[in-house]
Structure 1
Amino acid sequence: MSKGLGNGILSGAAGLLCLFLIMPTLIVAPISFTQTDFITFPPRGFSGRWYEAFFERPEWYGSLITSTIVAVTTTVLATLLGSMIALGLVRLSRRANRLVSFFFLLPMIVPTIITAAALYSPFAKLGLVATVPGLVLAHTILALPFVVINVSAVAQSMDWRMVNAARSLGATPLVAFLRVTLPVLAPGIAAGAIFAFLTSFDEVVVALFVSGSGATTLPVQMWSGIRFEISPIVAAASCLLLLVSCLLLALFWFLKRK
């Protein structure tokens, strides 16, 4: 078997596997346009009334606003903290870098359900359960590793002699950071911010523990809708989540090419 034929078979098998994995997601799209009052496939008729209902019903539209506020705030906090952590890790020895990096990557390694159960008790004592600040803090912990990984990857390949050259030419530490370090790290910071937003916007397990009537995110509202309602409005919400995720991943791909 030639090398080209082998690569073609491997690529075809990978494509079929990807198609198999995304098929359930693609089926959600036509379901969201059904005319019936219940989820059915194939859909019966064509109507956009479930998207109208999504934005007209306060529990659904309100959960979207809450998710957006939490995700944006989480992105800002995780990006700032993760970037500073990544810059600090670069200056450590290799052994210390591995040890400290492992500590900050724990939220990615530990199962989410364990993290959620561990956060609930201290959050309840501090009065953070069912509050937006509690959700932001919990999601920041989950999103931090993605920022650290992306920024660290860029920082480790950066030529730090450029910073030393800027300092030797009279630049202050702040000017050297803003005009030399920050532009080089910008792609990693942007990629980390995108993944932090997606982590918070799509997260449901920790939100089920921490959120409540005072702070219900869109994934939690969808979970409740599936359990008690089984309405096509859940499919419409799923399509909106999918659209946001695809747009942000396309932005990440564009930034990666740049």
Structure 2
Amino acid sequence: MAIAGAILSVLIAHFVFWIHYRHYRDGLPNYLSSNEILWHYTYLIICAVIFVFLIAPILVIIPLSFNVEPYFTFTEKMLAFDPDGYSARWYDLLLTFGMLEPDAPRDMSWWADAWANANWINAAKNSIIIGFFATILATTLGTIAALGLSRSEMPYRRAIMAILISPMIVPIIIVATGLFFFYSKVGIHTWGIPYFGVVLAHATLGIPFVIITVTATLVGFDHSLTRAAASLGADPVATFRRVQMPLILPGVVSGALFAFVTSFDEVVVVLFVGALDEQTIPRQMWNGIREQISPAILSVATILVVISILLLTTVELLRRRSERLRGVTPH
């Protein structure tokens, strides 16, 4: 027991020494007490644990997407890092599933067959088309709304803001049900416009993100610039195009990216209002889980994770650029 107590005392002493060493190395204020320093690093450890807890389910699908076996678990060969346990067959299946002649030589006709008939490629095309037009509509309407809400003379700003961002707060199943009955009432499926109902629905879901990001950008906007432009004879359109838009562009692009990700990732509304031929990637994944369990779903999820990381990196770069334009130095 004495030896164990001595070892414990040595470990505690080393830990306290390490805390004070990191205190001076990291440049923390000198007036902090030992308990405050200890809480600082305990807080960092707690944040790291929470981060690992949140990110682990996302990271675990990446190696599983290379599983040579049709399982959603790690095999013995994978755990032993045996090259025979890994394969890109599920990524290849994304190209061949639904093709008329998947085993034909991979020439131009094979790629034409994949482009026209592969289920996952068609779902990707639908997602991109719907996401593009939904993003354009959401960005346009959201930016206009944010410009109006940023003006101090706007009456009932809080109430209008609450109504406009409500699609982000209300459970998505309620929004989808309401859109389903509304579309059925107006007969939108008989209008003959492809993707129209889904585009409107996804734009509705994306507008709150555009409003929030553009409004946050307009918080530091100097409205005296618009008044100066008006006093020099610029009409409202020219003032917006040459004064406001260059300054709020990072916020507009960030909101557009969030709107696109929201559309690209949405499945509930598509299930309610989408036609049979309007299969998006999330809807295709849902069908794959319900009808046949295949690790190809993990391959799609890995690709979506990579795309999301790239988009979020772009948003962060735009945020920092916006802070530099407004004279705010990021810490």
Of residues 242, 255, 266, the one that matches 1:203 is 266
SS of equivalent residue, structure 2 residue 188: coil
Instruction: State the partner residue of 1:103.
Output: 163
TM-score by length of 2: 0.74
2:211 is the alignment partner of 1:151 = no
Q: In the alignment, is the contact (CA less than 8 A) between 1:138 and 1:206 conserved in 2?
A: yes
Cα distance in structure 2, aligned partners of 1:186 and 1:5: 43
TM-score by length of 1: 0.94
User: Which runs of 5 or more structure 2 residues have no equivalent in the other structure?
Assistant: 1-33, 79-83, 98-117, 322-331
CA shift, 1:92, in A, is: 5.0
Of residues 33, 55, 61, the one that matches 1:22 is 55
Of residues 231, 237, 247, the one that matches 1:174 is 237
Moved more, 123-132 or 38-47: 123-132
Instruction: State the partner residue of 1:190.
Output: 253
Cα distance in structure 1, aligned partners of 2:153 and 2:224: 18
Cα distance in structure 2, aligned partners of 1:76 and 1:168: 32
Cα distance in structure 1, aligned partners of 2:273 and 2:210: 23
2:93 is the alignment partner of 1:53 = yes
User: Which runs of 5 or more structure 1 residues have no equivalent in the other structure?
Assistant: none
CA shift, 1:192, in A, is: 0.5
Q: What is the aligned length?
A: 258
CA shift, 1:94, in A, is: 6.9
CA shift, 1:224, in A, is: 1.0
Moved more, 174-183 or 191-200: 174-183
Identity %: 39
Q: Report the residue type matching 2:220 in the other structure.
A: S
Q: In the alignment, is the contact (CA less than 8 A) between 2:251 and 2:318 conserved in 1?
A: no
Q: Report the residue type matching 1:66 in the other structure.
A: N
Moved more, 186-195 or 161-170: 161-170
Q: In the alignment, is the contact (CA less than 8 A) between 1:131 and 1:214 conserved in 2?
A: no
Q: Which has the larger radius of gyration?
A: 2
Structure-to-structure mapping, 1:175-254, within 5 angstroms: 175-254=238-317
CA shift, 1:59, in A, is: 1.3
Deviations 1:181-216 (A, max 9, x none): 111111110111111011111111112212232101
Q: Per residue, is there more helix in 1 or in 2?
A: 1
CA shift, 1:72, in A, is: 1.2
Q: Report the residue type matching 2:134 in the other structure.
A: T
Over 6 Å off, 4+ runs: none
